[in-house]
Structure 1
Amino acid sequence: MMQNCDINLDGEIDREEFYNFIKQLTADTFIIVSQKLIITLAVAPAVALATKRSTEKVPGVGNVVQKIPNSVYASLVTLAVVWFQKQTFGDDPKY
C-alpha cells in the first residue's frame, strides 16, 4: 500500500503522500471494522434468537434451551461469533 502512495517513486513518502496513505488506510479499516460490528451487534443476536426458537422443538435439547433466557442465549452466541472472528482473522493487519 505504501508503494502505491509513493507517487514520485523516490522510495520515501512526503507529507502529501503520507496524507493519501493514511486516508486510504483508514478508509479500508473503517469498512472492515464496520462489517464486523454489524455482524457482531446486529446479525448474531438475531440469528441466535431464530436458532433458539427452532431448537426449542428438538427433543432433549429443547428443554435445556427453553430454560436459558433470551438475553443470555443471544450473548453467548454473540461471544461465540466474536471468538470465531478472532480465530479466523487472528492478528492479520488487514483485519
Structure 2
Amino acid sequence: MSEKSAITSAEVAHLADLARIAMSEEELSSLTGDLNTILANVARVSEVATEDVPATSHPIPLSNVMREDVVGETLTAAEALAGAPAADGDKFVVPQILGED
C-alpha cells in the first residue's frame, strides 16, 4: 500500500468528529491501524482479481433444493387448543402485553 492511500490519524479524527463520536488518542491510533490493514487487504485482493477470474460469491456452485409442496395432515382447532393454558372458543388466550384494552 502506498503512502498516498494510507489513512492518517487526522483523517480518522475528522471522520469521528463528523460522526460526533468521541475518541481517545489510543482509540484513534488503534482504528487508524485497523483501517490501514483493511485497505492493504483490499488492495491485495484487487491485485489478484483479473478479468479472466469470474466474480463469485461462493467457491462452489449453489443450487436451490426444493421439495414438492404437498398438503399433509393438520391439527383440528380442538387438537391445537388441547395443550393451551387458556382458550376462548376456537382461539388461544394470551396475556396482554401492551397495557391496552
| Same fold by TM-score greater than 0.5 | no
Report the structure, 1 or 2, having the larger helix content: 1
Greater C-alpha radius of gyration: 2
Q: Using structure 1 for the length normalisation, give the TM-score.
A: 0.38
Q: Whose relative contact order is higher, 1 or 2, with alpha carbons under 8 Å and at least 6 apart?
A: 1
Q: Using structure 2 for the length normalisation, give the TM-score.
A: 0.36
